[in-house]
Amino acid sequence: MDTTAPLCVLCDHPASIIDTDRGNRRYVACSNSLCGDYEISRRAVAEVADQPHRKAALKAQVVCANMQSMVLEIVVNAAGEIEASSSKRE
Ligand SMILES: [Zn+2]
């Protein structure tokens, strides 16, 4: 068992994770068919860590965005709230 494999922030399945935005964000490509590809800021990773309900809701948004060939971007806004918006895949 490869214990070094990175895990999806939202569902803990094995995922491939690439640092983007000079390491401030991560692009996650999750292996779970009920999850998917999304981008999340480091701050948002910490913010959702102890919020299972929020993670489940975001996962559903990821699936929805991917179905439309979009990628969900999850960030923490100026008010300190988690904000998710989808944008066209590059
Ligand atoms: Zn996942």
Give the pLDDT score at 57.
97
What size, in residues, is the chain? 90
- 73 in Cβ contact with 37 (< 8 Å): no
**Would you write out the chain's pLDDT as a tens digit for each of its 90 residues?**
456 789 999 999 999 999 999 999 999 999 999 999 999 999 999 999 999 999 999 999 999 999 999 999 999 999 999 999 999 976
Give the pLDDT score at 5.
82
Find the 37 Cα to ligand 1 centroid distance in Å: 8
Beta-bridge partners for 12:
none
Find the 38 Cα to ligand 1 centroid distance in Å: 9
Find the 32 Cα to ligand 1 centroid distance in Å: 5
Task: For 42, list phi and psi in degrees, rounded to 5.
Answer: -60, -40
Give the pLDDT score at 16.
96
Give the pLDDT score at 90.
65
E strands in the chain? 15-20, 25-30, 37-41, 70-76, 82-88
